[in-house]
Amino acid sequence: MQIPRILISASNSSSGKTMLTCGIARALRMRGYEVQTFKVGPDFIDPKYLSLASGRRAVNLDSWLMSEEEILRDFEKYCEGADLALIEGVRSLYDSSDPLSLKGSTFSVAKILKAPILLTVDIRGLNMGTAAIVKGFASLFSANIQGVILNSSRGERHEFKAKKAVEELAKIKVLGAIPRKKELEISMRHLGLITVEEIEKEVEEKVKKWAEIVEERLDLDELLKIAESAEELPEVKERYEKKNFEANIAIALDKSFNFYYAQNLDKLKALGAKLSFFSTLEDELFEEIDGIMIGGGYPEVFAKEFNKKTMRALKNKIEDDCPTYAECGGLMFLCKKIVVGGEKFEGVGLIPAEAILDLSKRFLGYTKAKVVEENVISGKGEKLLGHEFHYSYLDLENDMKYAYELERGYGIDGIHDGIIIHNCLASYMHMLFPKESVGRFLEKCKEYRSS
């Protein structure tokens, strides 16, 4: 398969990758290109920005959670109908969970996709040092860095010095420089950028500004030439069994809960599920529903706005053994209380626990779990990969039944994750579902429907 593509990486985190990738996507879209965006790594927030910028749904690619074949398959699948692909990296080009391993790094995805790399460098306080950074990144594992973008410049003289150093000492072309301006920045909170769902109008205005400055300050024609130089990829076909479960799945989607992998939802639909979306902030009924999913998000921010009627309806439905899967924020939501700054808010009340927000505690990283109890997505003895990112913990009133023992990660108590209660599984671990897990969940939904 031949698809023009380019990967935008950086010398370190917070170097402006999301701003640049969104700006480039929108600028090319305004030129008439269909641009498919991707995000490397376990991230639910940046893809929403990329989706808004490009007008096409962004998709995650992760070499820790996915095989090489899965990365190629999903890349090709979601590029259908696109003129080119933009891939935003995670952290720096080489950083992963292990300081001596490339698994999970941006570089590993670039290598699998044979994607030319644009390296973004924050040049605050640098001139010749910019060349040292670029040369080091290019030479460490012979990365295919085809261009450099200078970010956070303080003026034309600063840009001139850094550009000259990179092009003469590192021998790599500089495609342009972005000045440091407050108007280009966007709000952050403890899990990253403020979500698009909360400030969509503000994000749209920011994306327009990013696109304008990209069009003005970057050589987009050269960028397109680099993208078109990408090698052909081997074609990988999707392997789905022909099944049609015809299950009705209710998925929480609002300002509170919106962390979902695109692939997970598409796998459900591919196996016949009909997806409907509900808000935890409004009155909802769940009468014709065969299964429920509650993803991650910010329940601690919107806890006082939760609709009590909807929470009661959810609790009744789950206690009726409706198959339910909840991740991270969804786990917190199902608890009796959510505690924020000492103030207690009502949760669904299914799990006998208080979910306590504590910004002094952070549980971040990839997870590896052994399934010790059968549940709605996996059978005993299976091994599952995932990731966690939370600043909360549970204060449980009594012992619980757990689905997972963790070989890596913290989960609920450093050893276990995945509370099983009724026909519900609620965990801190986020998963990019294996197709077997999707099939198992829908089978449980089918059984519930016929009971």
Which residues does the annotation mark as catalytic? 328
- Separation of alpha carbons 142 and 44, rounded Å: 30
- Separation of alpha carbons 164 and 158, rounded Å: 10
- Separation of alpha carbons 435 and 66, rounded Å: 12
Q: Find, among 165, 183, 184, 186, the residue nearest to 174 by Cα.
A: 165
Q: What is the arrangement of strands in the sheet containing 174-179, beginning at the earlier edge strand?
A: 59-61, 35-40, 84-88, 5-10, 117-122, 145-153, 174-179
Residue 203: both structure tokens together:
């994000």
Phi-psi bin for 41: left (phi > 0), alpha (psi -120 to 50), beta?
Answer: left
Q: Find, among 427, 423, 419, the residue nearest to 446 by Cα.
A: 423
